[in-house]
Structure 1
Amino acid sequence: MNTTILKIIAVIAMFIDHVGFFIPNTPEWFGWIGRIAVPIFIFTIVIGFQYTSDRKKYLTRLYMFSLGMSFINLLVNYIFRDFSIADLTNNFFAPLFLIVLILSLIEKKQLKYIFLFSIWQIISLVLCSLLADIIEFPSFNSATTNAYFWGSIFGNIFAVEGGPLFILMGIFLYLARDRKINIVIVYTIFSFCCFYSSYKWGHLINTWNNLLFPFTSYQWTMISAVPLILLYNSKRGKGLKYFFYIFYPAHIIILYLIGFYLKNPPPLGP
């Protein structure tokens, strides 16, 4: 199974998951299917980083799409700000960008780059907190949504979709990439971490909990992606590179609008 097939499977699972998320009265098992999408995307981004011929271009592309998605969310949230609906926060380009950025720093094998990145994480976290909680800009329905906007711009691991746990998973997958048994161990550990964090802290409703553990109580079922990843044959496939970059924002906007109009149907008659 090549990376293109893995990405197609992940896209289908993601679409089903987002149908369940945005469209009212859909069954919960749509979300169960969707749990395999994130780990597959993380795995393929790690593989993409390993084999890309131009890592700087790869990193720049991910950041530009992350930046673009954050402003799409900003626009949509402002258009629908007067309606009682949840803010749009989806931007998985941001954690993928951070995974590739950290892997690039690791590849340099120079401690000063890791140190500078760590310092920036502290500075950007302060900036995100200042802008999101104190200044309250953008003025969305929650500080968490504000933080996601700035986190995507500043590249802060604590203020992006999925939170630091999935970024760590990407790093460990890269370190474990050469042996399939290591991949299984990494996935098992992180699936357990998702289960435990949800069980231990999932009931706490606050901004920090939403940023650190922003996933469902059944996120641990992502372990079901392991058999698919173990079938990976180290081949690239046909690519379809820009299809995945374009499909992500397009399907989210469409499903968000469909969900909005199903929840707020226009009045009939004159």
Structure 2
Amino acid sequence: MTSTKLKMIALATMFIDHYGHFIPDSPDWMRWVGRVAAPIFIYCVVIGYKHTSNRKRYLTRLGIAAVGMSFLNLFINFHVYYSDLNRLYIEMNFFSTLFLIVFLIMLLEKKKVRFLIGLFVWQFVSFFIFGSLEVTGLLNSPMAIFTIQTSGNLLVVDGGLLMILLGILFYFAKENKWKVTISYGFYCLILFYLVRRWGWIREGLFSHLFGFFDFQWMMIFALPLLLLYNGKKGIGLKYFFYVFYPLHIAVLWYIGMVLSQ
């Protein structure tokens, strides 16, 4: 199976998941199906980084997509703010997660120790700032959400720190099927344990570390698909994925808002 086919499967399951998220009274199984989307996209972006002819351009493209998605969220959230549509803000921006994964991999590859230390320090500083804003109630606004999404903090991106670590894990697995199987299986097992122990806590630091559903363990079902990857790119369609992600979120959000009135 080519990486293009893998991404098409991830795209379809992501759409089902987000349909279940935005459209009222959707069945629970739609969210279950969506658990396989994120690991497939992460796996494909790591593969894409390894095989691209221009890694800086690859990173830049993801960065532009992340900022663009943040602006789309800002536009929609301002509409929510002024229309008071139950204040259902959009905070989805998986482009930011993918960008930070590739950025960290690039820093590790090039052994940019000073940049890694600076990024590490920034995590503490920015998270302290966001924590202070949350205590004062200033975090619940469109501009605050935009600032968070563009901050580069690993804890507050879509999926959180554990999704970033999954990308690093895939990078070091080096597309070796045995390494992918063992490392990803162990990762899902640890995630299952963490969610069972702390996953229901939705306040403070735990909400950022373990902000998953109780059924997040279902992401293990992505493993057979990852093992079917044949090392080939396929027809590409890279810009299709960059356009589809923000477009489908905007459309489903609007439909969900109309149906919930």
Partner of 2:61: 61
Query: CA offsets, 1:172-213, max 9 Å, x none?
Result: 110012421110122112212322222111222314222222
Partner of 2:70: 70
Identity of aligned residues (%): 44
Structure 1 counterpart of 2:15, which letter?
Answer: F
Q: 1:257 to 1:117 in 2, by over 3 A?
A: same
Indicate if the aligned counterparts of 2:52 and 2:58 stay in contact, CA closer than 8 A: yes
1:246 equivalent in alignment to 2:253: no
Give matches, 1:114-129, under 5 Å.
Answer: 114-129=116-131
Structure 1 residue 116 displacement after superposition: 2.4
2:101 to 86, 99, 108: 99
The 2-side partners of 1:184 and 1:128 are apart by 37
Partner of 2:153: 156
Query: CA offsets, 1:202-240, max 9 Å, x none?
Result: 222314222222221111110101111101010011110
Structure 1 counterpart of 2:94, which letter?
Answer: F
The 2-side partners of 1:134 and 1:54 are apart by 44
1:219 equivalent in alignment to 2:185: no
**Unpaired segments of 5 or more residues in structure 2?**
none
The 2-side partners of 1:101 and 1:131 are apart by 27
Cα root mean square deviation, aligned: 1.8
Partner of 2:113: 111
Indicate if the aligned counterparts of 1:161 and 1:214 stay in contact, CA closer than 8 A: no
Give matches, 1:185-264, under 5 Å.
Answer: 185-264=182-261
**Unpaired segments of 5 or more residues in structure 1?**
265-270
TM normalised by structure 1 equals 0.90
229-238 or 131-140, which deviates more: 131-140
The 2-side partners of 1:157 and 1:58 are apart by 20
The 1-side partners of 2:154 and 2:36 are apart by 21
Q: 1:131 to 1:242 in 2, by over 3 A?
A: farther
Query: CA offsets, 1:232-265, max 9 Å, x none?
Result: 010011110000000000000000010111110x
The 2-side partners of 1:256 and 1:213 are apart by 25
Indicate if the aligned counterparts of 2:23 and 2:256 stay in contact, CA closer than 8 A: yes
Structure 1 residue 130 displacement after superposition: 4.3
The 1-side partners of 2:249 and 2:206 are apart by 24
